[in-house]
Amino acid sequence: AMEDVCAKFVSQKISKARWRPLPAAALQPPELFATGSWDNEDNRISIWSVGDLGNVGLNGEYQGEPQLLCDIRHDGDVMDMQFLDQERIVVASSTGTVTVFRHHQNNQTLSANQRWEKAHYHVGQDTSCGGAACTGVICNNPEIVTVGEDGRINLFRADQKDTVRTIDNADSSTLHAVTFLRTTEILTVNSIGQLKIWDLRQQRNEPSQIFSLTGDRVPLHCVDRHPNQQHIVATGGQDGMLSIWDIRQGTMPVSLLNAHEAEMWEVHFHPSNPDHLFTCSEDGSLWHWDTSTDVSDKPSFLHQGGRSTTYFSHNTINQSVVSAWLSNDPTKDRMEITNLIPNQTLSVNSLDILGPCLVYGTDAEAIYVNRQLFA
């Protein structure tokens, strides 16, 4: 419900929001998150604390709004951002530069720790021509992979000045996002509706597999891999559709689900509870897709507390063997979809989810935190 959500107005359009990862053995919920901004005169990387836990209302609801711990100027729009470890954040810029910022927790400051200038760039007659936007970054410490508008893929290693590897003409169209499938394999999505798998052990600069949306070449903007079943991948694109792929079979998506009314900007499986998936869109909505519930004993439509919940049919074979995301018999099971933002406003550009906590950022110059997602 909305009363669990805390808003903080930040007078910057927020392009990215990311939880700081928790130490392996941590049991507590996440406490810090980072944001990056875009389309402002002065873009910034900011570190926030979720607020005063001690400040609890009469009904046990959490009251403190997020507190700014520190921030630093960023050159260009923040196109993507990922934590490398507890202290370091890798940021992709519209200028083509990739920067690693370090968060110093002893004195709450941020500093640029490492920078690869114009890691992405357009080659032209004019050699002084500018950078190409770095559109996506993914980390598997110490490795960092970036993709860009220039169709280039870069592999960096933290604390190493030189690029480990560059695939120069990886794509003739814009690469919008990248994810690791396993430590030696990455998956990219591009502006003509293709997924490509790249094996980083291979020296040749060709993808090992290509998948594509049939028909219209709808640009794909985001991708995420199922945390436990590495062959299951979700993508979202220009038309707002959610596509689920099984990269072991076929070259087309297993299912196409009607989702948003405009571009889908991000898709994330819940890292520890991947029956739950989250998507956000230019249309101002943020959807929670839940395949975990047995919906047979529920009414088919539910309207409560300002949430509209719709049940979409979808299939499973045997829940324990096959993920609920790969289904074909719509009668066996269903999916519950909830819009977590009932009164839509401007674009929801980014979301991140960790444990019971959701953070998202919007063009309405606000960040929102929900710490009781599954309450």
d(CA 245, CA 125): 40
Q: Show Cβ contacts of residue 332 under 8 Å, excluding neighbours closer than 6 positions.
A: 315, 316
- Residue-wise pLDDT for 292-302, tens only, equals 865 444 433 33
Chain centroid to CA 353: 9
- Residue-wise pLDDT for 213-246, tens only, equals 877 789 999 999 999 999 999 999 999 999 999 9
Is-contact 274 228, C-beta < 8 A?
Answer: yes
d(CA 342, CA 115): 40
> What integer pLDDT is reported at residue 94 of this predicted model?
97
* Residue 63: pLDDT over 80: no
Judge residue 199's burial from the number of C-beta atoms within 10 Å of its C-beta, 0-12 exposed, 13-18 middle, 19 or more buried: middle
> What integer pLDDT is reported at residue 214 of this predicted model?
77
* Residue 54: pLDDT over 50: yes
Task: Tell me the pLDDT band of 23, cut-offs 50, 70 and 90.
Answer: confident
Q: How many helices (H) and strands (E) does the chain have?
A: 0, 30
- Taking CA atoms, 134 is separated from 59, 78, 91, 92, 163, in Å, by 45, 9, 9, 5, 15
Paired tokens of 35: 């944001």
d(CA 223, CA 191): 13
Is-contact 333 324, C-beta < 8 A?
Answer: yes
> What integer pLDDT is reported at residue 292 of this predicted model?
83
Least confident residue range of 146-160, 185-199, 272-286, 303-317: 303-317
Residue where the block lists tokens 């860009």: 148
Least confident residue range of 77-81, 197-201, 250-254, 307-311: 307-311
Domains assigned to the chain = 5-292+322-370 (2.130.10.10)
> Which SS3 state, helix, strand or coil, does residue 296 take?
helix
Judge residue 68's burial from the number of C-beta atoms within 10 Å of its C-beta, 0-12 exposed, 13-18 middle, 19 or more buried: middle
Provide, rounded to the nearest whole percent, the portion of the chain with pLDDT above 70.
Answer: 84
Antiparallel, parallel or unpaired: β 242-246 and 43-49: unpaired
d(CA 125, CA 353): 44
